[in-house]
Amino acid sequence: MKDNMKRKILLIEPPFYRLFKETYSLDKHPLSLGYLSGAIRKETNWEVLIYNADFKLDRRSLEPFQVRYLTGEGFRQYQDQLRDLSKPVWSEIRSAISQSRPDVVGISAKSQNFKSACRVARLVKEIDPRTVVVIGGPHATLAGENILKEPDIDICVCGEGERTIVELLHAIEGKGDLGDVRGAVFRRNGRIIKNPPREFIRDLDSLASPYETAPEALKDYGKYPPSAFRSVLAIRGCPYNCFFCGSRRIWGPKIRFRSPENVIREIKSLQARGVKRIHFDDDTFGANRQYLRDLCDALAEHCPGLTWSCELHVRLIDDDTLSLMKRAGCFMIQMGIESGNDGILRKVRKGFSVNKALAACEKIKKHGLELWTLYMVGFPWETEQTIRDTMRVMKKSGSDFLVYSIFMPYWGTEAFEFCKRKGLIREDFDVSLYHHQSPANCFCLKIPPAKFRELVSHVEEMVDRENLRRVEKPGSRPAQNAMNAVLTA
């Protein structure tokens, strides 16, 4: 530790979208880092700074998100930027780390930006090898001790991090032992030590709002638009069991709720800062109907003028629910249909049929709500016909916006283990090559990679064509809002 200075932790969101295109920027306060910052401020004496390295201050223009860019020239640029640490984005990150002079750097990693997180860790160690590098987030939780194969990472945090980061910092400053910190994985005397898992946080109301510390903690806070502070988590946990999803491993299978009063207090503080529209980032918004009723009643009563959006499961959509949500200010619903083929839907355990999904789309539109539908192609059992079925449903859904992904087996999920057994994942699996629009993705048992790329290129062209037409029509929301929603979906 540096003498005569207050201990300092720098929390970093690694660059990802910026690596694809100069005009792409994640204009969003990183919610997970906001929660960590709140816990650190509340429970320790450490100084904390949040740095979103995927936010670009000097971008020349804003433009609609295009799937094809991520699979063409953008993907080549992304790989080049990952390889070459002399690129401007890494110089910016070096400068931010050097100026902060942290004792600890905490990096949040999803699977798609894990390699970028490793590059950030390398820069940290080049600047000062004494700095402790901690990595957490979804990928850390799913990959566990495998994370420590990276020599520049000192500690991995598995599971919810708010309690763990506080105990880690206490241990680092000599007030405890790393071996007693549940959820931590670390090295000791050349060995990897994996502590027991941490129990899930039961009382979500006990957590500080992720926005409470933003004005002081978020680097370049004043340069963010109000829309960067629009994400709200009301629920943690997922009761569903989709084949491809890691949410149950990350948040647990049991739903935990913030009280409506706690959610309203956070939203009112955002409204006071000029936020007029929010998005509930919950995986399972509305899964408990009584909670949904109570929350909607509270929103209608205490947050006049607020409009909001959420993602809702097909099985939760009915006229009463939609009417209640609309009265409370809901203007848009995202719905994961995933596939246009009933056989694929059964394989991935979505729990509904294509006809039920289309009926849900019709209900949403009937209530005058905007509809965004989410799709995924490239499941292991996919055929040319099932991909065509999905394209047909995309067109038939009546969606205002299409969100398109290629199947990606996340490390540590059932899908990942299935693909390994079937020989679709090799031992040298490089997670940096794969994301939900990556041209490297092909995990199909029945379609060769070249043919798969040909098929999905048609899907990408159609999605971009349809979305650009909708975004650019008179009266639509600005293209940047649409891009940011896709980037964070």
CA distance 431 to 410: 9
Of 88, 13, 33, 36, the C-alpha closest to 58 is: 88
For residue 8, the surrounding DSSP H or E stretch is: strand 8-13
Of 181, 114, 99, the C-alpha closest to 152 is: 114
Region 138-158: what's the mean pLDDT? 95
The Cα-based distances of 157 to 182, 185, 259, 271 in angstroms read 9, 6, 27, 33
Q: For the range 473-480, what are the long-range contacts, defined as Cβ-Cβ under 8 Å and sequence gap of 24 or more?
A: 478/62, 479/62, 479/63, 479/64, 480/27, 480/62, 480/63
Place of tokens 């094809």: 68
Region 308-327: what's the mean pLDDT? 96
Residue 59 binned pLDDT confidence (cut-offs 50, 70, 90): low
pLDDT at 483 over 80: no
Tokens of 384: 């040319």
Residue 65 binned pLDDT confidence (cut-offs 50, 70, 90): confident
Beta-carbon count within 10 A of 21 CB? 19
Helix (H, G, I), strand (E, B) or coil at 412: coil
Class of domain 8-194: alpha beta
CA distance 381 to 26: 33
Residue 5 binned pLDDT confidence (cut-offs 50, 70, 90): low
Q: Which residues of 339-353 are buried (b: 16+ CB within 10 A; e: fewer)?
A: bbbbebbebbebebe
Question: Angle at Cα 188 formed by Cα 183 and Cα 191, nearest 5°?
Answer: 90
Q: Which pLDDT score, from 0 to 100, does residue 136 have?
A: 97
Query: What's the mean per-residue pLDDT of the chain?
Result: 92
Region 399-422: what's the mean pLDDT? 94
Q: Where are the domains of the chain?
A: 8-194, 226-488
Beta-carbon count within 10 A of 222 CB? 6
pLDDT at 320 over 90: yes
DSSP 475: T
Q: Which residues contact 151 (CB under 8 A, 6 or more apart)?
A: none
Q: Which pLDDT score, from 0 to 100, does residue 44 have?
A: 96
Q: Which pLDDT score, from 0 to 100, does residue 482 have?
A: 45
pLDDT at 186 over 90: yes
Q: 188 - beta bridge partners?
A: 191
pLDDT at 485 over 50: no
pLDDT at 39 over 60: yes
* Alpha helices, DSSP H, located in 328-383: 342-347, 354-366
CATH number of 226-488: 3.20.20.70
pLDDT for 362-396, tens place per residue? 999 999 999 999 999 999 999 999 999 999 999 99
Q: Which residues of 119-158 are buried (b: 16+ CB within 10 A; e: fewer)?
A: bbbbbbbebeeebbbbbbbbbbbbbbebbbebebbbbbbb
DSSP 107: E
